[in-house]
Structure 1
Amino acid sequence: MGPTDQRFDVNLSILLTELPLLERPAAAAAAGFTAVELWWPWVDSPTPEPSELDALRDALNDAGTQLVGLNFYAGQLPGPDRGALSIPGEESDRFRANIDVAADFAQSVGCGALNALYGNRVAGVDPQVQDELALENLVLAARAADRVGAVLLIEALNQPESPQYPLVSAESAIEVVDRVNAATGLGNARFLMDLHHLAMNGEDLYEVIDRHTARTGHVQIADNPGRGAPGSGDLDFTGLFDRLDKAGYEGWIGLEYKSPAAGAFDWLPAEHRAA
């Protein structure tokens, strides 16, 4: 494993979860990291109390950690849900209620990327109806992200674990990115390149990097199989990091894998953790 110039951040929604949420930024800092990312932390509430937002902001600031990525409300995650923005009815309403809350929080901590998970297909609902609703909501999200100086991320997931999620290839996510940018004229929608999900879909990761890095706003990693730390599976991260370098990627690489806190970062030399 030989990363050199990459900028890494810790996803505090999947790592260091042995600790309460508000203690995780300090734990990431103690491990040597200066940047973190989060799924929407309040899975039952798109609009948490201001005091809860303040407490998380204080925890990030007190630890000296920069939040570099945040999900919009996405339903039960982890859990059965894969987003809310294409789900007609209450879930779509909850997503819309969350848009400005998430964007304003991102602005308050200097976070420049907001991830909008597309949502599962719903039995009995025309996929075209869901896609039209998704575009409406993604346009609103892109405008809110633009208002706070952030990019909007669109993510492909993997078919085996998310069989009802329609974006299960790099190309399908890029198509949505293009539709959103065409609709807004803002150009701030970007691809979230999750190498674990793409590997599980059987995609050629090097080809994806070569073709889509220019439209990529964020990268996430986990080994495959198993979604563990680099070195626990079959992916050649030295080669993948090198390919990202050659493709001109200068953004963040989120550590979004499963590992007990003890030893979670042993693969990454301490001098490469702070950014």
Structure 2
Amino acid sequence: MGFTDTRFNVNLSILFTELPLLERPAAAAAVGFNAVELWWPWVDAPVPEQAELDALRSALEDAGTQLTGLNFYAGQLPGPDRGALSIPGEESEKFRANIDVAADFAASVGCKALNALYGNRVDGVDPAVQDELALENLTLAARAADRVGAILLIEALNAPESPLYPLVSAPSAVDVVDKVNAATGLGNAKFLMDLYHLSMNGEDLHEVIEKYTGKTGHVQIADNPGRGAPGTGDLDFTDLLDRLKKAGYDGWTGLEYKPGDKPSASAFEWLPAPLRAAQH
């Protein structure tokens, strides 16, 4: 089990960023991966020009890579994770404008998972008001995802790196998942279990896997400390991935780590080449 029984995809918003966006799918394919994921690529454009969407679709198709996960618009990423959907005013409006754009693009490339970052707390706004807005927007996002046959992912980040982000534990994120599913009746909201963020929060990863795998729609990994590749820190991914499989998880595991001081193509030595490609 472990690495040999896991379907991996590569996050092209943190790996291969030394290359232009449209060159990254081919770069991932060149080192053996046929599945990729992305944060929303246009940080200043929740509604990009159709030509940009078409160009990305072509780049994915030409490289033979399947897009398996896509973030909704989430503000300025990379950088301090902040999201948009719970921030009143312009950011929330941008998120709403992006919902159908992202869902339709996902449908056009066969992507079945859409991730919605919750959004930072902001000065001068009652957290309860932000939470009410978040539930409204997540409900809209869940319905759009359902329309295109996708799931909605809700992620916990980590408090040291994202101190203003309110979902900084597995229970807090799963609570929102449950609220969205109760609001929509669709059941398509799922937990995004990012083992790096959860470990940074000091959570017991074995306990998280045992309790929440049944509500998990996607897993992401990076080692801790450092957010590097497996083997650069202290996490035992053979054990963790085994536990996920035994708990019933059979979805994608996203490689969302920093390549360090070497080119991204050299950041996969821990994973034998025959294990990089996965059946979709």
TM-score by length of 1: 0.99
Deviations 1:79-130 (A, max 9, x none): 2342000000000000000000000000000000000000000111000000
Counterparts of 1:226-237 in structure 2 under 5 Å? 226-237=226-237
Counterparts of 1:56-71 in structure 2 under 5 Å? 56-71=56-71
Determine the structure 1 residue equivalent to 2:114: 114
The structural deviation recorded for 1:263 is 1.8
Deviations 1:149-183 (A, max 9, x none): 00000000000000000000000000000000000
Counterparts of 1:7-156 in structure 2 under 5 Å? 7-156=7-156
User: Which consecutive unaligned segments of at least 5 residues does structure 1 have?
Assistant: none
Deviations 1:44-64 (A, max 9, x none): 000000000000000000000
Distance 1:220 1:182 in 2: 25
Distance 1:152 1:82 in 2: 18
Distance 1:48 1:176 in 2: 29
Asked if 1:269 is matched to 2:276, the reply is no
Determine the structure 1 residue equivalent to 2:258: 258
- Counterpart code for 2:272: P
Distance 2:82 2:198 in 1: 16
- Counterpart code for 2:270: W
- Counterpart code for 1:257: Y
Aligned residues: 275
SS of equivalent residue, structure 2 residue 153: strand
Distance 1:3 1:9 in 2: 12
Distance 2:36 2:206 in 1: 26
User: Which consecutive unaligned segments of at least 5 residues does structure 2 have?
Assistant: none
- Counterpart code for 2:38: L
Alignment identity in percent? 83
Distance 1:16 1:61 in 2: 18
Asked if 1:168 is matched to 2:165, the reply is no
- Counterpart code for 2:271: L
> Runs (4+) of structure 1 moved beyond 6 Å?
none
- Counterpart code for 1:38: L
SS of equivalent residue, structure 2 residue 168: coil
- Counterpart code for 1:265: F
Q: Over aligned residue pairs, what C-alpha RMSD do you find?
A: 0.9
Deviations 1:188-227 (A, max 9, x none): 0000000000000000111101110000000000000000
Distance 1:124 1:227 in 2: 33
TM-score by length of 2: 0.97
SS of equivalent residue, structure 1 residue 258: coil
Cα pair 2:27 2:265 within 8 Å, conserved: no
Asked if 1:207 is matched to 2:245, the reply is no
SS of equivalent residue, structure 2 residue 253: strand
The structural deviation recorded for 1:68 is 0.3
SS of equivalent residue, structure 2 residue 18: coil
Distance 1:25 1:263 in 2: 16
